[in-house]
Amino acid sequence: MSKNSINRRDFLTSAAVMGAGTLSAGTLLASCGGSAKEPALVPLRPQAEWDIPKLQEGGFLPDKANDGIPLKAGLIGCGGRGSGAVQNFLEAGPNLSIVALGDFFPHKLEDYRNRLKERMNVDIPADKCFTGVDNYKGVIDAGVDVVIIATPPVFRPIHFKYAVDAGKHVFLEKPLCVDPVGARSVLMTSKQADAQGLCVMTGTQRHHSRRYIEGYKQIQSGLIGDIVSANVYWNGTVPWTRTKQPGWSDIEAMIDNWVNWTWLSGDHIVEQHVHNIDVFNWFSHLKPVSALGFGARHRRPSGDQFDMFGIDYIYEGGIHVHSMCRQMDGCTGGGVGERIQGTKGVWTNDGVITDLQGNELWKYDDEKEKEDFQIQNDFALEHVNWVNHIRSKKPVNYAEPTTISSLTAIMGRMSSYTGKLVTWDEMMASDMNLMLPNLSDRSVTMAQFPVAVPGVAPTERRRG
C-alpha cells in the first residue's frame, strides 16, 4: 500500500472479487467496435488491498445470510433508523430475533414496542425494555448476542465501548462520533473489538451497494486513471423538528430534537453528508490533510446548526475534493452523490464511467441486478454480510474507516464554524468533547448553545 494510503485493514477481500473488474482499455473499446490495440490498464493498487465486502461465487453479495446459530439482537435507540435497522437485520436471514429494546424516552420505546407487536408479531417482554440515561446497559446486559446502536451520534462512542467490553458483536450507525475525543474513543474500542474477534458493521451502506462495489473495482483496476479530484454533495430539504414538551428540561427537549443540535448530531455535514465523504475516502484510500470551509444559517427553524456548508478538502498528494451540503427548502436540488475525476475518465455514483470526451466506457447494469437478485437494498445487504461473518467466525470491522470519514466531516464543520483552516493533525490532537457531563442537569439551557459565527471566538458568539 502506498505511503499516502489510509492504513485500512484488509477486512473482506476475496479471491473472487474481480468479476468484470479488470478490463484493458482495448477490451472495453473492442466491445464497442473500437480498436483492440490500446494498452492494458494500470491498477491503482493490488487486488489484495481492495476494500470490498466478502463476495459469493460470481462476485456479488448474496441475497440472504447463511443459516447458523441463532442470534438474539438488542436495539438501542428506537427511532426511525433504529426500527429500520431491526427490520433489515430480521430480514437478513434465518434464526435471527430481536429480544431487547432501549431508548432514552419511555414513550418512544412503547410506541416501537407496540409496532413490533402489531406489524411483525414480535412481543418484547417488559423486563427486556429499558429507558433513561443508562438504557443501553440494560439492553447489552439482557442476554443478547448482537447489539444494534442507533442512538443520537454523541452517545455512540460510549455505547460502543460498553458493548465491546461485554463481548458483543455490534452494528453501529454512522456517524460514529461528533468530536475528536469521541473519534479517538471509537478507534481504541475498535482495536479492542479486533483483539476479541468481534464483528463490527457500520451504517455506511454504500459499501454494500453492488453498483458502488462494481464502480470501485473499475476505478481500482485503472479505468479512470489516477484520481485527481472529486465532488461530493448532499443537498436536500429541511429535516424534521420537534418542540419542547411540558415538564421537560432543555436537555430532554434537545435530545428529542437531536438532529438539529450540534452536540448531539454533529450538524448535518457530519450526520448526513458523511456518507458522500466516506465514498471518496473509500474509493481513494487517501487521508485528508486539511479543510477550509464556510457555511451559513438563514432559515433553520430550531437548534444551533448551519443550513449549508462548502468545504475545500485537500487530501494526500494535493488532491482537492469539493464538498457541499445543504438543508433548505425552495432551492435548486443538486441531489445526493459523488463524482470522481481521473486522468483518463470520470466515475459518477449513477454507475457510469466516461472518458475525458464524455464517451461511455462502462455502465453498471441495474436491470440485470434486479433479474439476478431479490435484494437490491444495501441497508439489508450490510446486515447479510454482518451475520455471515458472525456465523462463519471470521471477524470483520468497519469502525476504523468509518471513524476516519466521520472525523473528516467534523474537520469540515470545525473549519466552517471558525472560518479557519483546520488540519488533520490538529483534529487528532484536539480535546474537543461535545458530550454534556450531566444529562440530568436541569440548569442547562438551549441559550448556552449559540450558533457559530465564523471569525469570532466561541466566547464572543452571539445568538443567530
Q: Give tens-digit pLDDT for 164-204.
A: 999 999 999 999 999 999 999 999 999 999 999 999 999 99
pLDDT score, position 422: 97
pLDDT given for residue 333 in this prediction: 74
pLDDT tens-place string over residues 270-315: 999 999 999 999 999 999 999 999 999 999 999 999 999 999 999 9
| pLDDT, mean over the chain | 90
Q: Where are the domains of the chain?
A: 71-206+375-404, 210-364+423-460
The percentage of the chain sitting over the pLDDT mark of 90, rounded to a whole number, equals: 84
3-state secondary structure the chain: CCCCECCCCCCCCCCCCCCCCCCCHHHHHHHCCCCCCCCCCCCCCCHHHCCCCCCCCCCCCCCCCCCCCCEEEEEECCCHHHHHHHHHHHCCCCCEEEEEEEECCHHHHHHHHHHHHHHHCCCCCHHHEEECCCHHHHHHCCCCCEEEECCCHHHHHHHHHHHHHCCCEEEECCCCCCCHHHHHHHHHHHHHHHHCCCCEEECCHHHHCHHHHHHHHHHHCCCCCCEEEEEEEEEECCCCCCCCCCCCCHHHHHHHCHHHCHHHHCCHHHHCCHHHHHHHHHHHCECEEEEEEEEECCCCCCCCCCCEEEEEEEEHHHEEEEEEEEECCCCCCCEEEEEEEECCEEEECCCEEEECCCCEEEECCHHHHHHHCCCCCHHHHHHHHHHHHHHHCCCCECHHHHHHHHHHHHHHHHHHHHCCCEEHHHHHHCCCCCCCCCCCCCCCCHHHCCCCCCCCCHHHCCCC
* pLDDT tens-digit series, residues 44-84: 999 999 999 875 545 567 788 989 999 999 999 999 999 99
pLDDT score for 22 = 36
Task: Please give the share of the chain, as a percent, with pLDDT higher than 70.
Answer: 89
The verdict on domain 71-206+375-404 having CATH code 3.40.50.300 is no
**Predicted local confidence at residue 332, as pLDDT:** 87
Q: Across 4-13, 96-105, 369-378, which has the greatest mean pLDDT?
A: 96-105
pLDDT at site 208: 95
Q: What pLDDT is recorded for position 60?
A: 63
Q: Which CATH superfamily is domain 210-364+423-460 in?
A: Dihydrodipicolinate Reductase; domain 2 (3.30.360.10)
